[in-house]
Chain A
């Protein structure tokens, strides 16, 4: 089964477009990514630019409305994600617990639908 581990860094919702993680944080994360890779569970990973560079497209009455970031109403935004293939929900949680996160950061673990799951 596949899971997405989403990183929700506190304050990222209002981070300026040029915000980048510190070299120290990157080094720690690289170590962690290598551990995922060595265990053969890592399928994909990416870091995302802050929402201030993004856009939200919302839909009402079949019409799409575009709002440029940052988004006033958002207080939890995704900063990065991993996709891992593991054998249970608990294993995904265990991997998330091993991630080198700082205080106030959150990882949300969610299972990915497999084709046969969708009727």
Chain B
């Protein structure tokens, strides 16, 4: 049986972004636009169960929002309305607003959606507020859904969204697509937000399975939307590629009992071939646009290298080292250096890997990264391969004390046993 509320929810997920974008084009304030759109949704929730879902639900919602906008204008809550304004002026403005909203819905164009995305991801906002606002305005998620995904109380999430809209409004952030020099940085902010959403779903070790998959899918959907909206930006395609390639391994990443399975141990027949193909196509697109040496493109190229190997042994580690070298040129991040050390260890042997790891540890210095358990864990692996078992088990023991994640601890303990066994037979 079809449930009208679920249908309304589905209509909302399809129509809300266009609706909010169309209203914001007139009100120039996404907070106000979202409230009006929400009001329209409330009206739909009241009427549709009785009257049925209208033929053109998008237009219906816009009409309802328009009515609310005129009401709001009348009450003087919008467009910095002055109280002493004469009635005729008010009437004229009402008419103008009504006309503008009417036209806006007919003409809602990709630019409006883009403006909405750029505004929601404005650097003036803290990153977590950008994430929440993006999921809310472009993802059509409810505050409760976003709160569940990020494991925070609904009230906290509600306040976060409220404050974000207030900040944008008070700072008079223009509802526009940035241009020129500003565009690059703003695109970066949008991509960061989308990638953080993806990672929230992809790497979180807690939270319900369903929510995590839904969040990953939403990030992918945002990535595909952006690829349509900003077709000339290579990093947009590269990020989409990176997400598709990582998500294609989803089914192989967990064992029967939900335990994490390392890339080298994964059953590669569980990888989603169609998704890999989509990822590779998006990466090639990014490369054709001349962005092959950029941040997300290099990461996607590394992922693609792994995906091309039919077995872990077939992995082209030499090429992966080269890609990490290029990535190091862009960002001297200790995490990139650590991953590079793993690749060097595979491509050139454990001794070379240790040298690379020392360089990575040097980069980490006294930063928070220095306390990252993967440093001793990788060192332990390399030492074991060199037959230096005592040092190896010391490093793994150190790694165990550095992680709070139970699954990681289990994996490390297993490795410790392996080292001890190898030491005995040596």
Is the pair B7, A90 in contact by a Cβ cutoff of 8 Å? Answer: yes
Is the pair A88, B251 in contact by a Cβ cutoff of 8 Å? Answer: no
Which one, A37-45, A52-60, A69-77, is touching chain B? Answer: A37-45
Interface positions of A from 69 to 119, Cβ below 8 Å from B: 85-88, 90-91, 93-95, 114-116
Is the pair A39, B225 in contact by a Cβ cutoff of 8 Å? Answer: yes
Contacts of B251 in A (CB 8 A): 114-116
| Chain B facing A: main interface SS | helix
Interface bin, chain A: 20 to 34
B79-113 interface bits toward A, Cβ cutoff 8 Å, 1 = contact, 0 = none: 00000000000000000000000000000001001
How many Å from the CB of B148 to the closest CB on chain A? 14
* Separation of A94 and B223 alpha carbons in the complex (Å): 22
| Chain A facing B: main interface SS | mixed
Contact of A94 among B10, B214, B228, B250 (CB under 8 A): B10
* Separation of A44 and B273 alpha carbons in the complex (Å): 13
* Separation of A37 and B10 alpha carbons in the complex (Å): 17
Contacts of A41 in B (CB 8 A): 221, 224
Is the pair B2, A90 in contact by a Cβ cutoff of 8 Å? Answer: yes
Instruction: Tell me whether B39 is interfacial, beta carbon within 8 Å.
Output: no
In this complex, how many residues of chain B approach chain A with their Cβ under 8 Å: the count is 29
* Separation of A116 and B209 alpha carbons in the complex (Å): 11
* Given the contacts A38-B225, A39-B225, A40-B221, A87 and B274 also touching, CB distance less than 8 Å: no
Is the pair A95, B217 in contact by a Cβ cutoff of 8 Å? Answer: no
B1-43 interface bits toward A, Cβ cutoff 8 Å, 1 = contact, 0 = none: 0110011011101100000000000000000000000000000
How many Å from the CB of A30 to the closest CB on chain B? 14
Contact of A87 among B2, B214, B222, B229 (CB under 8 A): B214
Residues of chain A having any CB pair with chain B under 8 Å: 1, 37-44, 85-88, 90-91, 93-95, 114-116
Residues of chain B having any CB pair with chain A under 8 Å: 2-3, 6-7, 9-11, 13-14, 110, 113, 209, 214, 217-218, 220-225, 228-229, 250-251, 270, 272, 274, 278
15 A-B pairs (CB sep. < 8 Å): A37-B228, A38-B113, A40-B220, A40-B221, A42-B224, A86-B10, A87-B13, A88-B9, A90-B2, A90-B6, A90-B7, A94-B10, A115-B250, A116-B209, A116-B251
Nearest 4 CB-CB pairs, A to B? A115-B251, A90-B10, A40-B225, A40-B224
